[in-house]
Homo-oligomer: A and B are copies of this chain.
Amino acid sequence: MPSSTVEDYLKAIFQLSRKSTDGKRVALGAVSEQLGLTAGTVTTMMKHLQSEDFVSYEPRRGVTLRESGEKAALQVLRRHRLIEAFLVDIMKLDWADVHEEAEILEHAISDKLIQRIDEMLGHPSHDPHGDPIPTATGEMDNATFAALADVESGHYQLMRVSRDDSEYLKWLSSHSLHPGQALQLVSRDHFAGVITLKVADAEPIQIGETAAQALLVKKC
């Protein structure tokens, strides 16, 4: 059983490895950035994770998850996402507040309780941010979507919000921008970096490219 510290490292490496250009290799700097730790701390931990067979680590080149590391990361992700879904659907907490809570609970909840939560929710496939929930055996849907920032005018469905900060999520909420929501990209000003979109039949709203980067959409 990895400690909760180790779980955090594995989760970070897993998530960074999905965006990696170089195979699934992750630079240690990205890990220290993500976890808010110094570079030296991360180097030390990589050696330890290697000795525990969670990762393979090549000095100065980066780390990749080994099988047991990936398995552990998927379990943490599963717990995290089921907890988020639970907190929103059953506990009726605000979408925007749920991430931090889950960040802690993911290390504290037993398998038995996670299983119970999964049942109560009817084995959901996605969490409130639209992220896929790995199964108990570690399968995960790996569909990818285009960012609203990279897409032309047309009709879309919001599939995923890939950003956790609470203020941003509150703002999305206030404009009914939840996963599943249909929206229309009305126009974009490439020079100003501003996108105009319509959600249902509300007034059109303006959104910057950075904010649009986190909105993952599917054409429809």
Q: Shortest beta-carbon distance, A204 to chain B, in Å?
A: 35
Cβ-defined contact, B105 with A109, below 8 A:
yes
Q: Return the CB mask of A112-127 against B: 1 if under 8 Å, else 0.
A: 1100110010000000
Determine the distance from Cα of A105 to Cα of B106 in the docked complex, in whole angstroms. Answer: 11
Q: Shortest beta-carbon distance, A52 to chain B, in Å?
A: 23
Cβ-defined contact, A93 with B113, below 8 A:
yes
Cβ-defined contact, B107 with A108, below 8 A:
yes
A-B contact pairs, 20 of them (CB 8 A): A90-B90, A91-B113, A91-B116, A91-B120, A92-B116, A93-B112, A93-B113, A93-B116, A97-B112, A100-B110, A101-B110, A101-B112, A101-B113, A104-B108, A104-B110, A105-B105, A105-B108, A105-B109, A107-B108, A108-B108
Number of copies: 2
Residues of B within 8 A of A117 (CB): 91
Q: Return the CB mask of A66-106 against B: 1 if under 8 Å, else 0.
A: 00000000000000000000010011110001001100110
A interface, size bucket: 10 to 19
A residues 2-45 near B (Cβ < 8 Å) are: none
Closest chain B residue, CB of each to CB of A107: B108
Q: Shortest beta-carbon distance, A116 to chain B, in Å?
A: 6
Determine the distance from Cα of A104 to Cα of B110 in the docked complex, in whole angstroms. Answer: 9
Determine the distance from Cα of A110 to Cα of B93 in the docked complex, in whole angstroms. Answer: 12
Residues of B within 8 A of A91 (CB): 113, 116-117, 120
Determine the distance from Cα of A87 to Cα of B112 in the docked complex, in whole angstroms. Answer: 11
Q: Shortest beta-carbon distance, A98 to chain B, in Å?
A: 10
Closest chain B residue, CB of each to CB of A98: B113
Determine the distance from Cα of A93 to Cα of B120 in the docked complex, in whole angstroms. Answer: 12
Determine the distance from Cα of A133 to Cα of B132 in the docked complex, in whole angstroms. Answer: 38
Determine the distance from Cα of A110 to Cα of B91 in the docked complex, in whole angstroms. Answer: 13
Additional A-B contact list (4), CB under 8 Å, known A104-B108, A104-B110, A105-B108: A90-B90, A93-B116, A105-B105, A105-B109
